[in-house]
Amino acid sequence: MEWKVHRARGGPVPRIAPTHMKRRQLLQQLALALAAGAAGAALNVFPPTMRLLPGRVLTLPLAILYGPAFGGIAALLGALPFARVSPVFLIILGAEGLAVGAFARRGRSSLTVGAIVWTLVAGAMAYEPDWFGVGSMGSMIGPLALQRLLNGMVAVVMAELVAVVATASQRRAPEDDAPRLRAYAFHVFILVAILPVLLLSAVNGELFASRQQTDGAARLHEAVTAMGDHIDGYINTHVRAVQALAMAAAHVGADPARRQQLIGRNRTIYDGFVTTFIADRDGIVQQIVPPQPAGRPINPVRDRQYFIEAVRTGNPAISDVIIGRLSHQPIVTIAVPILDANGEPDGVVGGSLNLSKFRKFLEEYRTLPGATITIADQHNRVIYASASSGFAALQNLAQEPIVLASAAADDGLFRYTRQGTDGARTAQLASVGAIGVGWKVFVEQPLVNMRVQTTSYYALTLMLMLLALAGAVLGARGFSGAVTRPLEELVSIVRRVSANGTPALAALDLDPPAEIADLLEDFNTMQTRLANSYHQLEQSLSQRERLNHDLTALTQDLDRKVRERTTELADATHIAEDANRAKSEFLANMSHEIRTPMNGIIGMTELALDTQLTGEQREYLSMVKASADALLAILNDILDFSKIEMHKLELEQLPFSVRDHVAELLKPLALRAEQKGIELICHVLPDVPSVAVGDPGRLRQVLVNLVGNAIKFTERGQILVQVETEALQSGEMRLHYFVSDSGIGIPADKQEQIFQPFKQADGSTTRRFGGTGLGLAISSTLVQLMGGRIWLESSPHEGSTFHFTTTLGVSDARPETIEVDLTSLPALIVDDNPVNRRVLH
């Protein structure tokens, strides 16, 4: 029912199946339809159940499941066995298959369709019984039609059940969210309620029918026997009457008046005789009652079979049946010979017996519903037949089915199919009985008459069915109210909750069964727990949000503070830089200012040393001179460093001889090395260009510092100064200088920091060797300014090698050294410092 609506609605699945899949499915369904049709046909011809047309239990589910086309094919195939009996059924069953399929497609129950189809069939049967071959049933048509309706429905209901089972076992489409349980329960309730009533009615009908048939057969047999006896009795009575007449005629002799009187009296006793006559030995009729009208000749009877036989045998003879010329009734003539004293036939008494008198006692058997009585003579000619037989008087029945079939009957009971005058065929149950004279009595009834129950029986069954249906509807309502509706409500509650997250507790409108109430309670508990955790989650979320907010505020605050501090720091840096610059400026001024008196001190000391001095004085003054020299060196360093810090150092661009430059600067240093017992070697590689353009003074400063350090930190061994070309391009060259010693070396961890100002490798060395820690800082800055870099390789106790590179210009011109001898030339000395003036003087 309803679930089929949804099944049908959900029908064309959106997914597009490949055509070969579709074709395969169609072929599969066709094969199933053909198989169901064949099986249905086999079931339909199974005789004891034919009235139920049971093959439809197999063919109709196909219509329900696969639609009208396959349903029609299966139904037609299943109905083929009826084509011979009554083509109407071919049409009905085919139409039923189509209708059930079409209705199922629209989601309609096949019960409705079945009820419509079989009500129509029953109506048609009552209205036009001939279509169904039951035209002769008369009053039986009503019950027969009702029986057809009920029998037709049995297979429909069973087919529906088969389809329900088949559908229930199918997988449900995911998009199909119809309330299946309710529809399913409803359907099953109805089927379960109706099926027993229908089956009971069908089974009861069958049992009743077979009992009726047995009873009917017995009744037929009885009727035949009774009729035979009656007819026998009738004929025998009249035979004896004729015998009595013959004896009386013999007794009275050939007296015509007495004979006439005899037959006249006889006729008043036996009114069954149409005529009674006495013929003489030659077959000439002498006396006859009723008397024949005048002028009408009475034919002699000498050539009649009954006369000849009676005379020949001396016994009563009975003629064949004839139709009386005047009475138009079937007549037999009973002939009895009149025997003389010698026992020789002296004439014949004849009585023409009117057989239509049978009708009177045959009428007693009219109570047999639809019974047909036929009486045939020894030549199978009809003596008497009920109007329903369709046989005419004296019709020869020798080739009629009834006679042919009776020949094979053993105890006088047989079945045969009668072909009505209208062509309708009916299955008949018949009984045949023999009558002494060689006649036969046939009594027959349509089989269906015996099988059909009364109208009230079917009406009662129908009523029971309706009652069951009402009960089923009520039951289904009750079930749906008690179980499915609360379940559906529960489902919608769950859906609502899952869709909206409604935190309110759910309650059913209906009073549900305990199981569903428990389920709902569990659901509510679960929902409460869910709501609680949801609440907690929400709380922690809002907490997190608050924290986030705080954090943002904090970050902003921090950011602001950082910016403030940065500004402050920038200011401070600015101030510090200013202070530093002031300091450097102060240092530079200071050094510069101190250098002038220092020159005075050194110059004056030198002058004093040139004078006559005691050994002690000379030693003291020499120490003054050395200290003043050292101090001047420090001052020069500090001045340079200050200049560098204030970015006031500028390089000159002068051509100079690389080799001369090195040689000259090493001269004084070689002296110092020699004093320490160290060998100083200088090696300028041949590929080094002789002339370069740069600042020879600054280059000298770097080299002097490096070589000076080497001498300072080396106790024995040698010092190598080497110059090589690293790169030479047009207009530019890159020279590589290195100073290698065999001194104390520098630990790896100190190698970087010694290039920092005021940093020394080892605090103790300062005390031992002296120095400011500015030399390498100045050198590295100068090397950078000269477009090179400085680095070192060293290991403690093995020695150090300081490398540096410098970019210099290339020049072809030889540097000119102008040497002018100024000795003994008069000079004017101008200086604001009187010490300077004195020194130069």
Indicate the residue among 512 and 743 with the shorter CB distance to ligand ADP: 743
The correct pick among 771, 782, 788, 804 for binding ligand ADP (CB under 6 A) is 771
Binding to ligand ADP by residue 800, rule CB under 6 A?
A: yes
Q: Are 149 and 121 in contact (CB under 8 A)?
A: yes
In the complex, the smallest distance separating the C-beta of residue 769 from ligand ADP, rounded to whole angstroms, is 7
Would you state the structure tokens that stand for residue 23, as one six-digit string? 């074709």
Residues 487-546, interacting with ligand ADP (CB under 6 A): none
Indicate the residue among 155 and 744 with the shorter CB distance to ligand ADP: 744
Binding to ligand ADP by residue 678, rule CB under 6 A?
A: no
Indicate the residue among 81 and 775 with the shorter CB distance to ligand ADP: 775
Binding to ligand ADP by residue 287, rule CB under 6 A?
A: no
Binding to ligand ADP by residue 644, rule CB under 6 A?
A: no
Indicate the residue among 96 and 637 with the shorter CB distance to ligand ADP: 637
Residues 543-582, interacting with ligand ADP (CB under 6 A): none
Indicate the residue among 102 and 704 with the shorter CB distance to ligand ADP: 704
Q: How many helices (H) and strands (E) does the chain have?
A: 23, 18
Binding to ligand ADP by residue 743, rule CB under 6 A?
A: yes
3-state SS string for 190-222: HHHHHHHHHHHHHHHHHHHHHHHHHHHHHHHHH
d(C-alpha 30, C-alpha 34), whole Å: 6
d(C-alpha 630, C-alpha 44), whole Å: 139
Closest CA to 688 of 652, 722, 720: 722
Indicate the residue among 224 and 792 with the shorter CB distance to ligand ADP: 792
Binding to ligand ADP by residue 713, rule CB under 6 A?
A: yes
Residue nearest to ligand ADP (CB): 771
Q: Is 821 exposed, middle or buried (0-12, 13-18, 19+ CB in 10 A)?
A: exposed
The correct pick among 151, 705, 806, 836 for binding ligand ADP (CB under 6 A) is 705
Q: Compose the 155-194 pattern: x for residues touching ligand ADP by CB under 6 A, - for all others.
A: ----------------------------------------
d(C-alpha 758, C-alpha 546), whole Å: 54
Give phi and psi for 255, each to the nearest 5: -80, 110
The correct pick among 406, 775, 781, 808 for binding ligand ADP (CB under 6 A) is 775
Binding to ligand ADP by residue 754, rule CB under 6 A?
A: yes
d(C-alpha 296, C-alpha 293), whole Å: 6
- Side chain identity at residue 122, one-letter code: A
The correct pick among 96, 489, 695, 741 for binding ligand ADP (CB under 6 A) is 741
**Dihedral (CA of 410, 412, 415, 416) sign:** positive
Would you state the structure tokens that stand for residue 32, as one six-digit string? 């199933």
Contacts 24+ apart (CB under 8 A), 9-17: 9/107, 10/173, 10/175, 10/176, 13/173
Report DSSP state, residue 381: B
Binding to ligand ADP by residue 707, rule CB under 6 A?
A: no
Residues 93-112, interacting with ligand ADP (CB under 6 A): none
Indicate the residue among 57 and 739 with the shorter CB distance to ligand ADP: 739
In the complex, the smallest distance separating the C-beta of residue 709 from ligand ADP, rounded to whole angstroms, is 3
Please, what is the angle between helix 141-168 and helix 455-479, to 10°?
30
> Among 348-356, 564-572, 724-732, 741-749, which window interacts with ligand ADP (CB under 6 A)?
741-749
Closest CA to 704 of 834, 804, 596, 814: 804
Indicate the residue among 606 and 798 with the shorter CB distance to ligand ADP: 798
Q: Compose the 10-39 pattern: x for residues touching ligand ADP by CB under 6 A, - for all others.
A: ------------------------------
Instruction: Please report which helix (H) or strand (E) contains residue 163, including its range.
Output: helix 141-168
Binding to ligand ADP by residue 776, rule CB under 6 A?
A: yes
Task: Enumerate binding residues for ligand ADP (CB under 6 A).
Answer: 705, 709-710, 713, 741, 743-744, 746, 754, 760-762, 765, 771-776, 800
